């Protein structure tokens, strides 16, 4: 089996988003196609007919169509097989319908990203694609190992090249989107008091209005962290109402009671900066949000046909 480094390398080249899930489910010992001598491409035919009949090529079956561009059933089957193998290995309790939907969503997202990349000027010709495949084969330890991986994971040479081409374009567009997220943005450093009952929260507000120290009260209700939320930008917190309340305040101000699924919050802003560098985690969160938002908007403006029964 390829090393973890190699698996990550394949993942980076093949798909965006779900690749690590898919590729982690590869066979522990991919079966090579026997010890047969590879076909050299020379064939011997007997009883050749005197006349050659005209043959109409059978259209390749498609799994879905995005803005007029099809994704083959072979690619869908390959990714579904990899997800199923990964789920079995990791004991993920997903239903067949959930697996089906995950693969379809991923292929739609890849195609939307790849289409936007081409619109943005991205190009990769056959020679450039072959260079990527050759580099991948060399990293794995040879073309035979790559061929074995392809067989084990449900790819034909044609479907693998198609997946690689789409992955290269979609990764280019993904990187353009996430790299557009700035490194410095407006942020606040805040503290909260979180309680379970509204009556308790309103009692805290009365104490604050009477001049009680916010930090002292916060330490009473949360002795471990003192209610410190730290620095955060717009879009970072999981509770938008808390974030909205924080950005409505200036340093030294506290909010009215804010209700969420967690309980009742009172927010206090300690500091505020209009141009502060993001933490690694905060920037990653904003990058994910930017990508998700772009995909949602792009999909709503696109025509997507699912062709599976």
Is the per-residue pLDDT at 3 higher than 90?
no
Separation CA 38–CA 231 (nearest Å): 61
Residue pLDDT, tens place only, 242-290: 999 999 999 999 999 999 999 999 999 999 999 999 999 999 999 999 9
Residue 257 to residues 195, 227, 241, Cα–Cα distance (Å): 10, 15, 11
Separation CA 221–CA 41 (nearest Å): 76
Banded model confidence at residue 212, pLDDT cuts 50, 70, 90: very high
Domain locations in the chain? 1-35+62-183+278-309, 185-275
The pair of three-digit structure tokens given for residue 302, joined into one six-digit string: 């696109």
Is the per-residue pLDDT at 138 higher than 60?
yes
Separation CA 65–CA 156 (nearest Å): 20
Between 60 and 17, name the one with better pLDDT: 60
Is the per-residue pLDDT at 222 higher than 70?
yes
CB-neighbour burial class of residue 105 (10 A; exposed 0-12, middle 13-18, buried 19+): middle
3-class SS string, 187-224: EEEEEEEEECCHHHHHHHHHHHHCCCCHHHHHHHHCCC
Between 13 and 163, name the one with better pLDDT: 163
According to the model, what pLDDT value does residue 196 have? Answer: 96
Separation CA 160–CA 10 (nearest Å): 11
pTM of the model: 0.76
According to the model, what pLDDT value does residue 169 have? Answer: 96
Banded model confidence at residue 188, pLDDT cuts 50, 70, 90: very high
Q: Are 42 and 282 in contact (CB under 8 A)?
A: no
Separation CA 182–CA 63 (nearest Å): 37
What is the arithmetic mean of pLDDT over 48-66? 68
Phi first, then psi, for residue 257 (nearest 5°) are -65, 130
Banded model confidence at residue 181, pLDDT cuts 50, 70, 90: very high
Separation CA 261–CA 264 (nearest Å): 8
Is the per-residue pLDDT at 5 higher than 50?
no
Q: Are 98 and 83 in contact (CB under 8 A)?
A: no
- Of 107, 95, 116, nearest to 22 by C-alpha is 107
According to the model, what pLDDT value does residue 124 have? Answer: 93
Separation CA 188–CA 203 (nearest Å): 26
Compute the mean pLDDT over every residue in the chain, rounded to the nearest whole number: 85
Residue 253 CB contacts under 8 Å (≥ 6 apart), including other chains? 268, 269
| Class of 1-35+62-183+278-309 in CATH | mainly alpha
According to the model, what pLDDT value does residue 54 have? Answer: 53
Separation CA 178–CA 183 (nearest Å): 11
According to the model, what pLDDT value does residue 67 have? Answer: 97
Banded model confidence at residue 56, pLDDT cuts 50, 70, 90: low
Banded model confidence at residue 35, pLDDT cuts 50, 70, 90: very low
According to the model, what pLDDT value does residue 57 have? Answer: 59
CB-neighbour burial class of residue 24 (10 A; exposed 0-12, middle 13-18, buried 19+): middle
Select 185-275's CATH number: 3.30.460.10, 3.40.50.1820, 3.10.50.40, 3.30.590.10.
3.10.50.40
């Amino acid at each position: 089996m390829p090393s973890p480094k190699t698996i990550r390398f394949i993942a980076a080249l093949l798909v965006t988003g779900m690749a690590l899930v898919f590729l982690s489910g590869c066979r522990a010992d991919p079966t090579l196609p026997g010890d047969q001598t590879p076909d050299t491409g020379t064939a011997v035919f007997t009883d050749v007919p005197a006349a050659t009949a005209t043959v109409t090529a059978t259209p390749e079956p498609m799994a879905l169509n995005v803005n007029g561009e099809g994704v083959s059933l072979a690619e869908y089957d390959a990714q579904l097989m990899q997800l199923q193998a990964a789920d079995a290995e990791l004991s993920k309790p997903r239903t067949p319908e959930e697996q089906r939907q995950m693969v379809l969503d991923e292929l739609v997202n890849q195609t939307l990203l790849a289409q936007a990349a081409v619109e943005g000027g991205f190009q990769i010709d056959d020679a450039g694609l072959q260079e990527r495949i050759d580099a991948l084969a060399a990293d794995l330890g040879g073309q035979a190992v790559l061929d074995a991986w392809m067989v084990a994971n449900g790819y034909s040479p044609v479907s693998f090249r198609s997946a690689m081409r789409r992955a290269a374009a979609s990764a280019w567009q993904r990187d353009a989107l996430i790299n557009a997220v700035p490194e410095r943005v407006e942020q606040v450093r805040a503290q909260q008091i979180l309680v379970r009952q509204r009556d308790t929260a309103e009692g805290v507000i009365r104490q604050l209005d009477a001049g009680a120290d916010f930090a002292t009260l916060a330490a009473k209700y949360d002795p471990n962290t003192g209610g410190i939320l730290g620095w955060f930008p717009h879009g970072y917190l999981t509770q938008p109402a808390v974030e909205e309340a924080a950005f409505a305040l200036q340093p030294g101000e506290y909010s009215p009671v804010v209700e969420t699924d967690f309980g009742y919050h009172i927010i206090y802003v300690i500091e505020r900066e209009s141009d502060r560098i993001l933490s690694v985690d905060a920037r990653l969160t904003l990058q994910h949000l930017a990508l998700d938002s772009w995909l949602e908007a792009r999909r709503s403006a696109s025509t997507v046909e699912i062709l599976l029964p």
